[in-house]
Amino acid sequence: MAYAKYVLDRDEGQDFNAAAEDFLQYVDGVNVMPKLPSHMSTYDETWSRNKRIQESEKRSKGGREKLDELNSILSPHVGEGSNKQEPELPNPLPQCPVQAMNNV
């Protein structure tokens, strides 16, 4: 959580040396440890990716709800065991005759 707080508080920029120094204000030596610039750059990529995923999920929430509603209208009996019909399976392929063994 300290990294998220740091990223949200900082100005935009990718100076990881300065970022490592700025992050020291969040270090307590027990739960939050100091970071090297290489740690900051590596985790910045991960954090940014996770943040984009969270924002994408928030934006698509309305669309997902509409799809769920539409699916419930189109197939209202999904999940009800008594009305559920098994799909018809195609006929199996005919079995090939056993080939003669080649005894050499």
For 42-84, the pLDDT digits (tens) are 888 888 899 899 999 998 888 888 888 888 888 766 555 555 5
SS3 98: coil
pLDDT at 12 over 70: no
Work out the number of other CB atoms within 10 angstroms of the CB of residue 26.
16
pLDDT of residue 56: 92
- 47, 3 contact by CB (below 8 A): yes
Cα distances from 67 to residues 2, 18, 47, 71, 73, in angstroms, run 37, 46, 29, 6, 10
Listed in sequence order, the DSSP H helices in the chain are 2-9, 16-22, 37-74
- Chain CA centroid to CA 39, Å: 22
CA distance 85 to 57: 34
Residues 40, 59: Cα–Cα separation, whole Å? 28
> Could you tell me which residue, 57 or 94, shows the higher pLDDT?
57
pTM listed for this prediction: 0.46
